[in-house]
Amino acid sequence: MPVLAKRIIPCLDVHAGRVTRGEQFGRAEDGGLRDVGDPVGLAARYDEEGADELVFYDITASVEGRKTLLDVLRAVSDRCFLPLTAGGGVRTAEDIRGMLLAGADKVSVNTAALADPDLIRAGAERFGSQCIVLSIDVRQTGPESWRVFSHGGRRPTEWEVLDWARKGVELGAGEVVCNSIDCDGMKGGYDGSLIRLLADALPVPVVASGGAGKIQDFGEVFLSGHADAALAAGILHSGEVVIPEIKAYLRTQGIPVRL
Amino acid sequence: MGNLRSVEKALAFVGAVPRRVTKPEDLTDLAAIVLPGVGAFGDCAAQLAQTGLWDPLREWAASGKPFLGICLGYQLLFEGSAESPGVAGLGVIPGKSVRFPEEVGKVPHIGWNTIRILRQSEFTREIRSGDFVYFVHSYVPVPEDPEWIALETEYGVRFASGVCRGALFAVQFHPEKSQRVGLQLLRAFVEVAACRERPTRSAP
């Protein structure tokens, strides 16, 4: 019986050098994002609190945005000694390389992989499956059906979530992050059935994203959603709950965590 | 890749003066060698051979001078790996790396898992059995001589997550990504190296 700890992963959406937060993939240009802090300072706080990993997304996905994200990665990896994942606007194997060199341990791909799935294969062959994360944005379209969206949740694709996730893993993705657009920022809990569908079917770790609103939601997504890790943003950034509190609760539920 | 930078930053954080070496001449004034190792077994072995560092590294590791192997740098100390059949490792430690059997769970083994200290050494005096460290790997070495094994971890099967002999210490996990526990291991290694009264440096 593996005793791998379930991971709690703060997610930092970086826009114009600041960490921002929205709801249901709100966009900066519509004023749908709130500034919640400085990425390096926030990262240091999470490191201190015992985060198991940190995820940084460049949500501007422009050339300028990518440069800013690399600066953030360098600054964070200079002082925080925990695993870092970076993503947002990754189009080529060179983009992946740039993020790894700046201090990321894993790089997540999303829209560009949908346009050209071979990006996953190229990345996995060159840098190893363990550092290629497939990030998938979905909306529920039926009782047991979730459609994959590209372009930051703006465009529907032809893919059903499980088919795309399987394809990505087959091409070499070593981990899958699944973001529920419906649940994002709504604080009503993770989409447990979505996460369980993927976690039970895929041979790689599955990270749940979107919907954490209270401590019990984490227990739920590990126990009934079978997630390997849970991403959270809003409730952590605001300080509504802190990581040690989440982990202490998970431990009372018999869920293995690193304290 | 990124891991080289992270190892450097972490070593500097615990007081070492790391330096990248790319050719055998660079090794002459070093107090210690750290071999992080990245990528696939075969590629890494080929690159080390190309730079001429292969034989000096093997001699160094076999001589009992301060040597720290991390992840692939740990696996390379053995005779070979199922990841790259036919490619010889440094052969300092008898045994080979095998792939995790699929039935243990998800492979790669990614995440925080505990270590159990089987044999205490100056490297582990500040850490405890049950401490969590960060792993990312699909292959793991199986030492033929259990005397080598210092740390053990369980992931469906029990495996040697660390070995130690003299001033040689090598681990499957990433101390540079294991927060407090990892930094303590690195600090202990740097102190062992410093006892030899020379500044600490690192190799690729």
Q: A41-74: per-residue pLDDT in tens?
A: 999 999 999 999 999 999 886 777 778 899 999 9
| A4 reaches B (C-beta below 8 A) | yes
Report the pLDDT averaged over residues B54-72.
95
Q: How confident is the model at residue B202 (pLDDT cuts 50, 70, 90)?
A: low
Question: From the list B5, B113, B132, which residue is nearest A101 (CB)?
Answer: B5
Q: How confident is the model at residue A24 (pLDDT cuts 50, 70, 90)?
A: confident
Report the pLDDT averaged over residues A29-51.
87
Q: Where are the domains of chain A?
A: 7-252
* Contacting A residues, span 180-219, partner chain B, CB-CB under 8 Å: 203-205
CATH of region A7-252: 3.20.20.70
What digits encode the pLDDT tens for the residues A79-95? 999 999 999 999 999 99
Which residues of chain B have a CB within 8 Å of the CB of A174?
108, 110
Are A82 and B6 an interchain contact pair (Cβ–Cβ within 8 Å)? no
Q: Per-residue pLDDT for A1 more than 50?
A: no
Report the pLDDT averaged over residues B2-23.
91
Q: Per-residue pLDDT for A29 more than 80?
A: no
CA distance A179 to A210: 5
pLDDT value for A88: 92
The answer to whether A71 and A56 have CB atoms below 8 angstroms apart is no
DSSP strand E in B13-99: where? 33-35, 67-70, 80-81, 95-99
B20: which residues sit within 8 A by CB, 6+ positions away? Answer: B4, B8, B202, B203, B204
Report the pLDDT averaged over residues A86-111.
94
What digits encode the pLDDT tens for the residues A149-200? 999 899 999 999 999 999 999 999 999 999 999 999 899 999 999 999 999 9
What digits encode the pLDDT tens for the residues A120-141? 999 998 888 888 999 999 999 9
Peptide bond before residue B204 is cis, with ω within 30 degrees of 0: no
> Domains, chain B, ranges and CATH?
2-194 (3.40.50.880)
| A77 reaches B (C-beta below 8 A) | yes
Report the pLDDT averaged over residues B167-194.
96
Give A59: exposed, middle or buried? Use CB within 10 Å, 0-12, 13-18, 19+: buried
